Amino acid sequence: MHDISQMGTRRFGAVNWLGLYTLCIREWQRFLSVWTQTLLAPLVTAGLFLIIFTIAIGPRRGDVMGVDFTTFIAPGILMMTVIQNAFANTSSSIVIGKVQGNIVDTLMPPLSPLELVLGYLAGAIGRGLVVALGLSAGLWLSLGILPQYPLMALGYVVLGAALLGALGILAGIYANKFDQMAAVTNFVVTPLAFLSGTFYSVEALPPVLWYITHFNPMFYLIDGLRFAVIGVSDSPPALGAVIAIATTLAVCTLAFWMFTRGTRLKA
């Protein structure tokens, strides 16, 4: 197997456009070939969340931040679904390759660490965008909700998919088997997604939980998308964007570094 660090040094300053394009297409085809599992299932799950919370809590909950409860939670469910699927796309791609022993097919070609990160992120962002478009269409048809700031909403969806896609790369490199991957998903990603203001305004939290929530980058993704869709938020959208972008760059840099070192990837 080629030394990944040497590969990155050898190709520094040049871009293997054909290799990058091929990796992007492969990652797209991965989730499109099993669309009932990767696209339809998340849409159904998000719809069930919306229906159950609306029926069980909506009539008694009243307005939240000036909007009805169903409208309030809709953007949060959309972003939660996007980030969970972006994480699953990159992490599963790497772990499956390691378990099946064909990760070498990705590492052997002359792809630099940056190109590997970008290729995997392309799949995560692509899957996130398709899921977001499907959910947005459903919200429009069922609730009449359209984004007040469409470009901002698109930016937050891409940013959320990129952040969790990069985090999925880290998790995929770390995990050598599926139960390790499941542990990261169940004990890190899911709690962070649910405890980020998806179903409630953080202003209703006790002071300690309020401060803890503001250290959760997923809170800013959900809060930013909520502002872009319905025009209300718990924190300034500009601040949330800066924090989300900085976190995404940091995680992407760490993923780049891990590919450069070949951590838990070299034979």
pLDDT digits (tens, 9 = 90+) for 79-97: 999 999 999 999 999 999 9
pLDDT at 13: 55
pLDDT at 8: 42
In this structure, what DSSP letter does residue 69 have?
Answer: H
pLDDT at 4: 43
152/196 Cα distance (integer angstroms): 19
pLDDT at 116: 96
pLDDT at 12: 46
Phi, psi of 176 (to 5 degrees): -105, -5
pLDDT at 194: 85
pLDDT at 199: 85
pLDDT at 253: 97
Enumerate the β-bridge partners of residue 64: 67
pLDDT at 2: 43
pLDDT at 193: 86
Residues of the chain falling short of pLDDT 70:
1-13, 58-60, 266-267
Query: Who's near 181: CB < 8 A, 6+ residues apart?
Result: 91, 92, 95, 171, 172, 175
